[in-house]
Structure 1
Amino acid sequence: MRQLTFISPGNLEWREVPAPRLEADTDALVKPLVVARCDLDLYIAAGVVNYPGPFAFGHETIARVVEAGSRSGVSPGDVVVVPFQLSCGRCNACLRGWTNSCESYPFGAAYGLKPTSGTEFGGALSDLMRVPFADHMLVPLPAGVDPIAAASVSDNIADGWRAVGPQLEARPGASVLVVGGLAQSVGLYAAGAAVSLGAGRVLYLDDHPERRARAEAMGAQAEPLALAEGRQPEAQFEIVVEAAGDADALGFAMKSCAANGSLTSVSIHLGATTPVPLTRAYYKGLTFQTGRVQSRPTFPLALACMACGDFHPERVTHRVLPFAQAAEAMTDPGPKVVFTCNEIA
């Protein structure tokens, strides 16, 4: 079968590799229908994040089941969301909702990201993927939800959702600030999710005009961040999301967080160390969270909101292209590219 393979920054190629097969009665084989480019994919392809190749590429996907084990819980023809992280749903970590550190797999196990775990699990930009523990992993795409709109739901959409969803459940109508930047689509999804969940004021700050326009299309107020001009917080927000990946932006986010507020950093800070103004955070009593999203327990919540028509992540997508153009388009600097197979192109 064909598989898009990352070789080195700016160098991805389609290769012929052995097709996967069912290895257990809980396995399923799926054919990717749409694949979204994760924010991290862009930075790997551009060489900003140094991941050594070669490895299979792509991990945000909606797929169709083509073969199913007798205890897989799915049937051929089902259209499903495939979590990007591999998890069994049975171990102590999974039962506690920590599917990003399933005890059945090496830490960091994921499709399309071999360097995170040291193990190749295949990628979404391929003809077929093997999904183990399919009875746990795979989630049906709700009727009426466009696969192209939901293409990023297993990772970047879920990542934005987890930064505001639980927080707004605890504080209905709370004010939300999103500091945008490096994790560009994640920050936008967080802003859109906050609007859809009935937050009070939702302010999106970013020096990139196209991303500000997309935040406004999702119902948020948008302004330049302009930290270089010494900007100081104009208000205190109960819920703050830092998606900039920048130390100054993280400091600004902490300063902008109200007393007893919550701050979630959804961006990878790439420096060896990052200064954090903990004294201010201490006196404010902030709850600060960082780390990878728990994909499997999180994305069904975003899917449900999409099915109800309240959440519109498609407004973040700036290009929809066929699979054949994936290698060339992977370094497109825009916030979200979605690739489609011939079945729904």
Structure 2
Amino acid sequence: MKALTWHGTKDVRVESVPDPEIVNPRDAIVEVTATAICGSDLHLYDGVIPGMKAGDVLGHEFMGVVVDTGSKSTLKKGQRVVVPFTISCGGCFHCAVQQYSACENSNPAEKQDMSATLYGHPMSGLFGYSHLTGGYSGGQAEYVRVPFSDVGPIAVPDHLEDEKVLFLSDILPTGWMAAENAQIQPDDTVAVWGCGPVGLFAIQSAIVMGAAKVIAIDHYPHRLELARELGAETIDFRSTDVREALLEMSGGIGVDAVIDAVGMEAHGFAVDNMLDIAKQTVGIGADRARVIKQALLAVRPGGRVSIPGVYGGMTDKFPLGALMEKGLQVRSGQTHVQKYTGELLDKIEDGTLDTTFLISHRLPLEQAADGYRNFKEQQDTWTKVVLKPGMEH
């Protein structure tokens, strides 16, 4: 089959790789009909996530049709399913309390040492996201083996086309959980850093949850326009002092909740961020944490901090004093996708949530490398790329 494989920093290639096979009774094989490039994929593309090996198949946002099942799978051949990017067993302590992205059994034992050393506990399994997370082949391919297929995939009705439901795999529940973690109240003013796909879904989710005012922070004009179309007020951080603007827009008290939808590759020309960029480039630092530092200083005392943006390593000059002295609440983590898919599918069906507005480009799988390059280099206009195996060039 054809699949997009990683070969080093900014080196991804569509190649022929072996077809996946059933290896466990709970497995299923899915023929991919739509897959997407995620902002998190760019961390792999940029070489800032450890644990990648040449030839690894990328991609964790995908859906398709079931073509084969193991004896204990609950899926049926011919079903259309969306597959969560989190691989979860359904039976461990964390799955039992719906903390699916902390599954104890989906990362094979021989893969656990690196993430346990970095984070204190091993990570769960994720599709297409390095050997830190199990080394599973991803969904930017013609076919995918789906472990624990009786737990993760959600069957979708035939009347909903792929593009309406594809983002249930990751970015829609990620944006929703980000807003939920911000514990939004009806009178809240909420600031969201980053108007990429997760940030835009976090903005939409916060508005649906009843926030009085949502403020979007970015520097790309088109992405800021998309945020305004959703109902947000906007700040261009390159022409505005963000902290001063947020104080003014919140009546001088500071915003009630902040959402960092940027993560480890923050933009900006502040001195601390330029130092983080230099350290990340030469490998002695992993995260450019400008956004979370700014968010902690901007949120009001007693406020809430939500971090859906991916961080993978260490950062320095962190305002720990602000976190403690202001009495802030912080919630973060990879998304517990399976917890949200049913509820969000209902909201797509009844029109509460729109999932297609951010799609800017549709490409055949064979052009995936071009999609990555443009998604990285033209982030204003390439807001979301959907890849379609079998699509004509």
- Does structure 2 conserve the Cα–Cα contact (< 8 Å) formed by 1:85 and 1:100? yes
Deviations 1:149-193 (A, max 9, x none): 33232222222111113545x634533210116xx3211211111
SS of residue matched to 2:88:
coil
In the alignment, the residues of structure 1 paired with residue 127 and residue 165 of structure 2 have an alpha-carbon distance, to the nearest angstrom, of 18
Question: Alignment RMSD, CA only?
Answer: 2.6
Alignment equivalent of 1:129, drawn from 144, 150, 170: 144
The Cα of 1:65 is off from its aligned counterpart by: 0.9
Kindly indicate whether residue 185 of structure 2 is the aligned counterpart of residue 171 of structure 1: yes
Distance 1:78 1:132, change over 3 A: same
SS of residue matched to 1:280:
helix
Kindly indicate whether residue 132 of structure 2 is the aligned counterpart of residue 116 of structure 1: yes
Alignment equivalent of 1:151, drawn from 166, 176, 194: 166
Residues 236-275 of structure 1: pairs in structure 2 closer than 5 A: 236-245=254-263, 246=266, 247-269=289-311, 272-275=314-317
Q: Once structures 1 and 2 are overlaid, which stretch shifts more, 252-261 or 209-218?
A: 252-261
The Cα of 1:48 is off from its aligned counterpart by: 5.1
The Cα of 1:58 is off from its aligned counterpart by: 0.9
Distance 1:240 1:231, change over 3 A: closer
In the alignment, the residues of structure 1 paired with residue 58 and residue 295 of structure 2 have an alpha-carbon distance, to the nearest angstrom, of 33
The Cα of 1:231 is off from its aligned counterpart by: 4.2
Residues 87-102 of structure 1: pairs in structure 2 closer than 5 A: 87-102=88-103
Kindly indicate whether residue 193 of structure 2 is the aligned counterpart of residue 193 of structure 1: no
In the alignment, the residues of structure 1 paired with residue 389 and residue 293 of structure 2 have an alpha-carbon distance, to the nearest angstrom, of 42
Which residue of structure 2 aligns with residue 8 of structure 1? 8
SS of residue matched to 2:163:
coil
Distance 1:188 1:274, change over 3 A: farther
SS of residue matched to 1:215:
helix
- Does structure 2 conserve the Cα–Cα contact (< 8 Å) formed by 1:227 and 1:249? no
The Cα of 1:315 is off from its aligned counterpart by: 1.8
Which residue of structure 2 aligns with residue 289 of structure 1? 331
Kindly indicate whether residue 386 of structure 2 is the aligned counterpart of residue 338 of structure 1: yes
In the alignment, the residues of structure 2 paired with residue 251 and residue 316 of structure 1 have an alpha-carbon distance, to the nearest angstrom, of 28
User: Residue 113 of structure 1 aligns to which amino acid in structure 2?
Assistant: Y
TM-score normalised by length of structure 1? 0.88
- Does structure 2 conserve the Cα–Cα contact (< 8 Å) formed by 1:6 and 1:55? yes
Distance 1:44 1:331, change over 3 A: farther
Distance 1:67 1:208, change over 3 A: same
- Does structure 2 conserve the Cα–Cα contact (< 8 Å) formed by 1:33 and 1:343? no
Which residue of structure 2 aligns with residue 76 of structure 1? 77
In the alignment, the residues of structure 1 paired with residue 219 and residue 391 of structure 2 have an alpha-carbon distance, to the nearest angstrom, of 38
Deviations 1:220-277 (A, max 9, x none): 2222124874742322222210123344432332233234321112223467324333
Question: Structure 2: where are the runs of 5+ without partners?
Answer: 108-122, 267-288
Kindly indicate whether residue 319 of structure 2 is the aligned counterpart of residue 277 of structure 1: yes
In the alignment, the residues of structure 2 paired with residue 302 and residue 6 of structure 1 have an alpha-carbon distance, to the nearest angstrom, of 32
SS of residue matched to 1:264:
strand
In the alignment, the residues of structure 1 paired with residue 171 and residue 132 of structure 2 have an alpha-carbon distance, to the nearest angstrom, of 17
SS of residue matched to 2:296:
helix
SS of residue matched to 1:33:
strand
The Cα of 1:26 is off from its aligned counterpart by: 2.6
Distance 1:227 1:276, change over 3 A: farther
In the alignment, the residues of structure 1 paired with residue 315 and residue 336 of structure 2 have an alpha-carbon distance, to the nearest angstrom, of 24
- Does structure 1 conserve the Cα–Cα contact (< 8 Å) formed by 2:181 and 2:331? no
Q: Percent identity?
A: 27
Deviations 1:199-234 (A, max 9, x none): 211111112212101212222222212487474232
In the alignment, the residues of structure 2 paired with residue 46 and residue 95 of structure 1 have an alpha-carbon distance, to the nearest angstrom, of 35
In the alignment, the residues of structure 2 paired with residue 344 and residue 310 of structure 1 have an alpha-carbon distance, to the nearest angstrom, of 33
Alignment equivalent of 1:325, drawn from 362, 367, 391: 367
Deviations 1:54-94 (A, max 9, x none): 31111101111112234322211211111112111011121
SS of residue matched to 1:324:
helix
SS of residue matched to 1:134:
coil
SS of residue matched to 2:334:
coil
User: Residue 194 of structure 2 aligns to which amino acid in structure 1?
Assistant: G
